[in-house]
Structure 1
Amino acid sequence: MGIFLTGCREGNEGHSEGNSPSAISLTEQSADLRTLISDELAAGNKRIVIPPGRYRVQAEKGEHLVFKDLKNVEIIAYDVELVCTSTVRALLFDQCSDVTIRGLKIDYDPLPFTQGTIVSMAEDKSSMVFKVAAGYPEHELIERIQIYDPGTAELRRDDASWDQQIEPLGESRYRVRKKGNYRFNPERDTEQIGDILVTNNAKGTPGPPHAVDLRDCKNMRLEDITLHASPCFGFLEKGCDGSIYRGCRVVRRDPRHDPVQRALPRMRSLNADAFHSKDAGKGPAIVACTAHHQGDDAVNINGEYHYVASSQGRDLRIVVISKLRFRPGDPVEFLPHSGPRPPDAVVTGIRPASTPLTDGERALLNEQRMDNDTKTRMLSSKARILTLTLDREVNLPPASAVCCPLRVGNGFSVTDCDFGHNRSRGILIKASKGEVVRNRIIGSRMAAVLIRPEFWWLEGGLPCDIEVSDNTIKGSLQTPIQILAIGGNNRPLPAGALRNISIVNNRIEDCAWPLIRVTSAKNLTIEGNTLPDRPKGQSTGPDGKAIEPIVLEYCEP
């Protein structure tokens, strides 16, 4: 039996703040939102409609709202704003199934980032002083620095390498420095006095940093959720199956509707990825969603690789630094360090290895190009060394990687979305059997669509059966569509590592050349794409050869 609360209205008319001056003004509510929802769930109600208004929630044990083991519940929250008062997770859904949440808006006070104006800098731009603008927090400032042009409210430059220390100088002034190996580059170091510097801010008891977090959930449906801030990712799911995100928005808040008066409008929406899916059974459907001005990728769908220290016959010695992603009977997908991709195998046994990493295995691991924190964890005493036994012998070089294709987000869909204006990628995919269709990706400074495994982060797998079609891409400063299979040696793998890739009817404007790059593919279709003329100054590459609009490496029909 459903529930109706006085003063609520169903539907979604008038709920979206966006940039509309006609957005409704929310009333500050004194009711305890946690108690309100808990009481309805305790009463057995499966449909809960939350009264409109702005609800400030105090974190408990590093969390704001936690839902565990919910089944077949619908939460309607149009014209409802959750204000998080600590820079920790806003919502956790843990082991829930068939739950729908609609209409909620999430913001933070204090914000998980701060910003201010650059007031001075060294002649070579190796250090600079910024003054935090009125209305922005300065609790614990953490290096995640981005610099914006105040005239355009867009990023002034790409990333720089900054020291972790942010030095307080008093009177809301702080000094930041670039790392010791910095050398001035006039093409990159374009920041100016008067630009706006943004970096992270932390407040309250530490806790998980992602705004909306789904753990081991099934058939979740999130509709019309708006995020104006997050300490890290906006929407994160781990170990989920069949999630749907429809009409969700990651956008910086319009100052006309910000309940806190600030001397500068917000430059950033949230601090890292907008939508991040890890280890999903069936990958998420991200439909008609928006993600602008976040600190990292708009979408990242991936699973986890385990590093292969050595291989002999049917046995692989793997290094596990978190949760083991395999069970007996699971398929095994291989990312070779070099050479052809072996056909998938099947796990027949898992057991602790009889010996720790040998000196030779440790030396080889130390040589690998990968994230230093990940490498340090693998070399620590906390890492587990396991033997993975397969149903057949595999010729796999050491320093390869393996993943379970049942847990990488296969079957995903990213359609009809609007992404961009961010420092990194638009859509980053490592899964298979999916589609990237009818999206608009404007101003992502790296690739607009990047489909590849990443040995650097140990994120897999090797994508196959992918459609990239009818997308509009503009303003990428790197090759906008890239579909790559790069081995652990950082070189393209032979043809066949990727299969059944379709790049059709995309429209690309004002992007860096080449416009499409594909490596290592068999059964590749590229047709019907609208590509611009070569821009001035990009006629040849570093090797002196003419740059072509489409570059294929190690590809076969």
Structure 2
Amino acid sequence: MINARRKDKFIIIILVISMLLFSIGMPVSFVASANESAISSFEASAKAADKQGASKMALLAAVDVQGMINTAIAEGRSKLTIPPGTYRLEPKSGSTILNIANANNLEIVATGVTIIGTKLTRAIAVTGSSNVKISGMIINYDPLPFTQGRVQTVAADLSYLDIKLDAGYPRELYSRLAIYDPATRFQKRGINHLWGTTAAWNANGTMRITLTGVGKNVAVGDPVTLAGGPGPGGIPHAIAVENSKGIVFTNVTVHTAPGFGFIEANSDGGTVLNGFKLIPGPIPPGATEKPLLTAIWDGIQFKTSRLGPTVENSVIQSAGDDSFSIQSGDFGVVKVQGTDIVIVLRDDSQVPRVGDRLKRFNSSPEAVVVSVQKVPRASAGIAASILQKIDTAADWTLWRFTGDNYYKIKLDRTSPFQVESFIFSPDRMGNGFTFRNNTIYSPGRGMLLKAGGGLIEGNVFRGSDKAIIVSPEAVSDSHAGAGSNLIIRNNQIIGTGYHHYMPWSDQAGAIGFASGNVTSMKAFDNIRIENNTFDSVNGLNLNLTNTSNVVVTGNKFLRTHLDTPNNNGADKGIDAKSVIWVKNAMNVTFTTNTIDRMGPFSSFAVNVQPPTSGINGANTGVIVVN
């Protein structure tokens, strides 16, 4: 039996929630136990409270959003409606503001709901869940994870910038710098990566950003952003999905994030983002300038999922780095004994699962995982010579593995893999994705793909340093992260390639395939590039390196090479003066493509370099007009 005090407390809570719902015109359907007479009583109480001038803000503050989610999950409900309003929240425990854990077949309707994170940490985490749909929510932060202002001084030797911060933006010594064009409010052309900057206060209250050459191509008055990261005790990213499947986000908006806007890792996948928007938020209190930045790092990233996502009708704007990526990687085999192997991972999200296939190349022998057990490195029985290679490996070299990520894997057959070989799981690449009818307007790569079996269709890529890069970014001779079976069609690629020049990298071209590490066979197979429009691209438009069985048909290359081209790929011998580059390729067919207004800075329409074979239509299938 409930005692009097607990009964009174329960009634007060119910009355507060019901008053809120009545005041905003919402039904109380989320209170599963309420009957008609109770609702009438609640509405009467709400009317009385309203007459006494009850504050909507105070009522919203009384709503326990996390508690509502917990109750809906515990009771197995199929639908939860969060009352509209702006909720200023921080984690009640741990480092995440709202946790959705072990939920199944749950729809969360958050139309008209804005979550303001008052601590720079993760806003939403979906873990161990299946068939969860979230719709209508807006996520923002106060304080913001970045600040912004304008250049007040450029050092004569270009070694520092003095920045006057805009009113209403955080006075924090953030140092991840980006320079903007004051006319377009987009990344300024001719500005490269500004890695390694340091920040300090000047006596007059301005901020000094120091780095050799930081002032190159910068003018007084140029807008800037300076980004940080998670706050003390916080963890990165606005939305994170892990170890889940069938998660759907519809019409969800993220204005900024202390990390990525969205990340999914180590899931069965099949995630859907429909109408997802990563766009700048409103002018913050006390400010007069609109925000220039959204997520301070990448926009959206999927990694090591079994099934790739479907992303449609979405917008990714003004992210701090890559707009969208699907990530995967390789494993090192460090011990083999019959049907048992020990592998080491480069990333703890890579752990294979029972039923996953393992192989070196797409066409090579494979084995299926029967069991997985994490093992301490010290007791895994790994040869001392291999451990020494790991311990002494430099960054971006074959044996560079950090962390204690060693796993004993039992296979369904005698291991086809040798010690010191490098393998991958095609079931942890995010294959089978769809990216359709989206708009990308961010300075980093529009897409970075380490996945295959995908459709990229009907998108607009504008302003990125590259639009679509397919590259494992790996160091082992394997098909880990090498995407094949891709269709890229009906996309518009506009004004890319004007900043973040990377002469040391083989990632070149508005659409480019790059994989210098794969040498035993072609990295990328069965590619169709069809009916795309390349407009005003700086430098190389299409890079077909290390590819096989490629069809390039019906594409239009407009207003190309009207300016001095970038030098992306120069150290790798890639010619930025070419419109199309073909090297180390076989069975590539060109039909009905046109180059309209090829400018004075181009020397080749189609530049075919050895080793190549089976190149058809390089002269007849790409026609230069005007």
Q: Which bin holds the TM-score, normalised by the shorter protein?
A: 0.7 to 0.9
Question: Partners of 2:127 and 2:196 in 1: how far apart?
Answer: 36
Q: Give the corresponding residue for 1:415.
A: 436
2:526 aligned with 1:506, yes or no?
no
Q: Give the corresponding residue for 1:304.
A: 329
Q: Equivalent residue of 2:180, what SS?
A: strand
Q: Give the corresponding residue for 2:276.
A: 248
Q: Give the corresponding residue for 2:595.
A: none
Larger deviation, residues 67-76 vs 459-468: 459-468
Q: Give the corresponding residue for 2:551.
A: 525
Conserved? CA contact 1:146–1:159, under 8 Å? no
- The CA deviation at 1:73 is 1.0
Conserved? CA contact 2:325–2:448, under 8 Å? yes
Q: In structure 1, give the amino acid aligned to 2:62.
A: A
Identity of aligned residues (%): 24
- The CA deviation at 1:197 is 2.2
Question: Partners of 2:98 and 2:302 in 1: how far apart?
Answer: 20
- Taking the TM superposition and a 5 Å limit, the aligned residue runs for 1:194-273 are 194-201=221-228, 204-240=231-267, 241-255=269-283, 258=284, 260-273=285-298
Conserved? CA contact 1:302–1:460, under 8 Å? no
- Taking the TM superposition and a 5 Å limit, the aligned residue runs for 1:436-515 are 436-445=456-465, 447-455=466-474, 460-477=480-497, 479-487=509-517, 493=519, 495-515=521-541
Question: Partners of 1:63 and 1:548 in 2: how far apart?
Answer: 49
Q: Give the corresponding residue for 1:153.
A: 185
Question: Partners of 2:407 and 2:317 in 1: how far apart?
Answer: 41
- The CA deviation at 1:313 is 11
Q: In structure 1, give the amino acid aligned to 2:470.
A: I
Higher helix share: 2
Conserved? CA contact 1:453–1:486, under 8 Å? no
Conserved? CA contact 1:226–1:251, under 8 Å? yes
Q: 1:430 to 1:358 in 2, by over 3 A?
A: same
- The CA deviation at 1:364 is 9.8
Q: Equivalent residue of 1:267, what SS?
A: coil
Q: 1:467 to 1:150 in 2, by over 3 A?
A: same
**Structure 1 residue corresponding to 2:148, chosen from 108, 115, 121:** 115
- The CA deviation at 1:9 is 6.7
Conserved? CA contact 2:336–2:342, under 8 Å? yes
Cα deviations by residue, 1:66-110 (Å, 9 ceiling, x for unpaired): 111111111111121110001100001111111111110111000
Question: Partners of 2:575 and 2:324 in 1: how far apart?
Answer: 34
Q: Give the corresponding residue for 2:88.
A: 56
C-alpha RMSD of the superposition: 3.5
Structure 2's unaligned 5+ residue stretches are 1-17, 28-55, 498-507, 588-626
- The CA deviation at 1:315 is 9.0
- Taking the TM superposition and a 5 Å limit, the aligned residue runs for 1:28-67 are 28=57, 29-32=60-63, 33-41=65-73, 44-60=76-92, 61-67=94-100
Cα deviations by residue, 1:91-148 (Å, 9 ceiling, x for unpaired): 0111111111111011100001111222223212211221222111124x34321111
- The CA deviation at 1:31 is 3.3
Question: Partners of 1:545 and 1:99 in 2: how far apart?
Answer: 48
Q: In structure 2, give the amino acid aligned to 1:262.
A: A
**Structure 2 residue corresponding to 1:425, chosen from 445, 458, 461:** 445
Q: Give the corresponding residue for 1:177.
A: 210
- The CA deviation at 1:369 is 3.2
Q: Equivalent residue of 1:406, what SS?
A: helix
Q: 1:307 to 1:518 in 2, by over 3 A?
A: farther
Question: Partners of 2:418 and 2:334 in 1: how far apart?
Answer: 13
Conserved? CA contact 1:441–1:473, under 8 Å? yes
Q: Equivalent residue of 2:528, what SS?
A: strand
**Structure 2 residue corresponding to 1:343, chosen from 364, 378, 386:** 364
Q: In structure 2, give the amino acid aligned to 1:206.
A: G
- The CA deviation at 1:195 is 1.6
Question: Partners of 1:278 and 1:116 in 2: how far apart?
Answer: 34
- The CA deviation at 1:520 is 2.0
Q: Give the corresponding residue for 1:13.
A: none
Give TM-score, length-normalised by structure 2. Answer: 0.73
Q: 1:328 to 1:537 in 2, by over 3 A?
A: same
Q: 1:125 to 1:51 in 2, by over 3 A?
A: same
Q: Give the corresponding residue for 1:556.
A: 586
Q: In structure 2, give the amino acid aligned to 1:112.
A: P
2:299 aligned with 1:277, yes or no?
no
Q: 1:312 to 1:528 in 2, by over 3 A?
A: farther
Q: Equivalent residue of 1:263, what SS?
A: coil
Larger deviation, residues 313-322 vs 74-83: 313-322
Cα deviations by residue, 1:8-56 (Å, 9 ceiling, x for unpaired): 579xxxxxxxxxxxxxxxx753333334444555555421222221111
Q: Equivalent residue of 2:393, what SS?
A: helix
Conserved? CA contact 1:282–1:412, under 8 Å? yes
Q: 1:539 to 1:93 in 2, by over 3 A?
A: closer
Q: Equivalent residue of 1:34, what SS?
A: helix
Question: Partners of 2:459 and 2:25 in 1: how far apart?
Answer: 34
Give TM-score, length-normalised by structure 1. Answer: 0.82
Larger Rg: 2
Q: Equivalent residue of 1:137, what SS?
A: coil
Conserved? CA contact 1:158–1:423, under 8 Å? no
